[in-house]
Structure 1
Amino acid sequence: MHRIFISILVTLIAVPVFAAEEPKTDEQKTFYAIGTIIARQLSVFDLAPAELEMIKQGLTDAATGKKPVVDEAAYTAKIQELAAARRNAQGEKLAAEAKQFVDAAAKEKGAVKTTSGLIYIPLKEGSGANPKATDKVKVNYRGTLVNGQEFDSSYKRGTPAEFPLNQVIPCWTQGVQMMKAGGKAKLICPPEIAYGKSGSGSIPPNATLVFEIELLDVVKEQSHK
C-alpha cells in the first residue's frame, strides 16, 4: 500500500497545478478523482492541517519544476516509518472508540450478538434461502469504520459483488449465513473476525468494521461429478 502511495505521488509531480475549481468536464473530473485516490492513500497519516499544507507545498514545488528543499530519496525510509507509526496510532484510537460503539449497537432493536463477537442487526427481512458457507452469494454492501469513514462500497462501483462465502472474512461468512436472500442487515465486525492486528489497505490495525449488506441472491454450490 505504501509503495502505491509513493508511486502515485511520483507520477503526479509532472502534472501542472491549476487553481481549484469545481470539476465540470470529464477530464477535470478525472483529475479530481486522482485527488481522491491520493487522499485515500494519505489517510494512513491522519494529517493535521499544517501537515497537509506541507504535502501540498512539496507537490506544488515538484509539479512546477521548483528545486525541492528536501531530498526525496533521503526521506523514503522515514515516510515508511511515519506511515507505520500513524497507522498503529489510528488503530489504537479506533479500538478505544469501538467499545462504546459496539455496546450501543448490541442494544439496537433486533440485535443478536454471537459467541464470536459479531453483532447482527436485521434491517429488512428477506424471503429467500439462507446461504451456506459453501455457497456463492451476490451482494451490495457498504463498509465503514466506527467513526463513519467509508472504506469500501459496491454501490459506488455500481456493480454488486459475487464471491464464495467461505472465502471472505469470518464476520461475513458467519453473518451473511444469518440472512435470507432479498434481505438487508448490518454486521458489526470486531477485529478478531475481520482484519485483526494487521489491518488491510485503508483499514487500520485492530479496527472494528461496520457493514450494511443486501443479500441479492444465493448461488447454491455446484455438485462435482
Structure 2
Amino acid sequence: MKKLVLVAALSLALPLHAADMTDDQKTMYALGTVLGQQVSNSFSATPAELEFIKKGLTDAASGAKPAVEMEVYGPKIQQLAQARAAVKAEKANAAGKEFADKAAKEAGAVKSASGLIYIPLKEGTGASPAAADIVKVNYRGTLTDGKEFDSSYARNQPAQFPLNGVIKCWTEGVAKMKVGGKARLVCPPGIAYGDQGTPGGPIPPSATLNFEVELLEITKAEAPKAAAKPAKPAAKDSSKK
C-alpha cells in the first residue's frame, strides 16, 4: 500500500505536459527520449525488461551499488544487442521480401538487377535526369507496415538535391522518371539504408522502404570549366647577352 501511495505521489509531482516543464526539465526529458530510442533500437525491450533498465539507470545515477556483478554482465550487453539485432533483421528481411514480392506483381512494375521495383503511376514529359543533375521532387516515404517516416507534402516544401547525393534506390529510380511524372520506388535495404537503418532516426535496420515520388523539375549539372592554359614564357631578348 505504501508503495502504491509513493508511486502516486511521484506521478503527481512530475509535470504531465511539456507546457508544465522548465527548460532544463525538457532537456532532461529529451535525454530520456534519446536513451529510450537507443534501447528500443538495440534491444526491443519488453515492458518488464524496461523496469530493470530503469532500475539500473536510477542506481547508477544515484551512486548506489550495482545489484549485479558488472564485470560479468557488462560484457553481455553487446552480446544481447547483437543477438536481438539478428532476430529483428531476420523479421525485417522477411517482411521486406514479402512486401517487395507483392509489389513486383503490380501492373507495370519492373524489377531491376539491384532489387529496385519501379512502378510508374503517371507518365511525365521530356528528358530524364542524369545522376549529376539537381532534381526537385515531392515524395512520401513509408515502411512496409504503412507507417510514414518522411514526407515533403507534410512540410509543404519540395525537396531539391543532386541525384547522385541520395540513396542508390533514388539515384536509379528517379533517373527513370520525366518531369511531371509520378512513380513508386520499392527499395530493399541493400540500396536504401542497409543493416543499420538511421540510428536514432525513423528508419529501422534492414528496412525495405516504399516511396511515392513526383518529379517536378530538373536542373542540368554545369559542365566543368576547362582549365586555364598556362601563359607562354616571354621570348628572350637576343640583343642581351
Q: Please give the TM-score of this superposition, normalised by the length of structure 1.
A: 0.69
How large is the RMSD of aligned CA atoms in angstroms?
Answer: 3.7
Match for residue 3 of structure 1?
none
Taking structure 1 as reference, are residues 20 and 89 closer, same or farther at Cα in structure 2, changes over 3 Å only? Answer: farther
Instruction: Report the Cα offset of residue 135 of structure 1.
Output: 0.9
Q: Is the 8 A contact 1:23 1:32 kept in 2?
A: no
Percent sequence identity over matched residues? 58
Match for residue 209 of structure 1?
209
Match for residue 116 of structure 1?
114
Query: Match for 1:21 among 16, 20, 24?
Result: 16
1:53-202 correspondence to structure 2 within 5 Å: 53-63=51-61, 66-70=64-68, 76-123=74-121, 125-126=123-124, 130-148=128-146, 161-196=159-194, 198-202=195-199
Q: Deviations over 1:92-127 (max 9, x none)?
A: 111112222112222334433233321123445555
Unaligned runs of 5+ in 1: 1-16
1:17-56 correspondence to structure 2 within 5 Å: 19=14, 21-24=16-19, 27=23, 33-42=30-39, 43-56=41-54
* Separation of aligned partners in 2, 1:32 and 1:19: 11
Secondary structure of residue in 2 paired with 1:88: helix
- In the alignment, residue 212 of structure 2 is paired with which amino acid? E
* Separation of aligned partners in 1, 2:38 and 2:151: 17
Bigger shift: 177-186 or 45-54? 177-186
* Separation of aligned partners in 2, 1:32 and 1:183: 43
Bigger shift: 202-211 or 98-107? 202-211
* Separation of aligned partners in 1, 2:111 and 2:52: 45
Bigger shift: 204-213 or 26-35? 26-35
* Separation of aligned partners in 1, 2:69 and 2:150: 35
Secondary structure of residue in 2 paired with 1:188: strand
- In the alignment, residue 178 of structure 2 is paired with which amino acid? K
Instruction: Report the Cα offset of residue 46 of structure 1.
Output: 1.8
Match for residue 7 of structure 1?
none
- How many residues are aligned here? 208
Q: Is the 8 A contact 1:117 1:190 kept in 2?
A: yes
Instruction: Report the Cα offset of residue 37 of structure 1.
Output: 3.2
Q: Please give the TM-score of this superposition, normalised by the length of structure 2.
A: 0.65
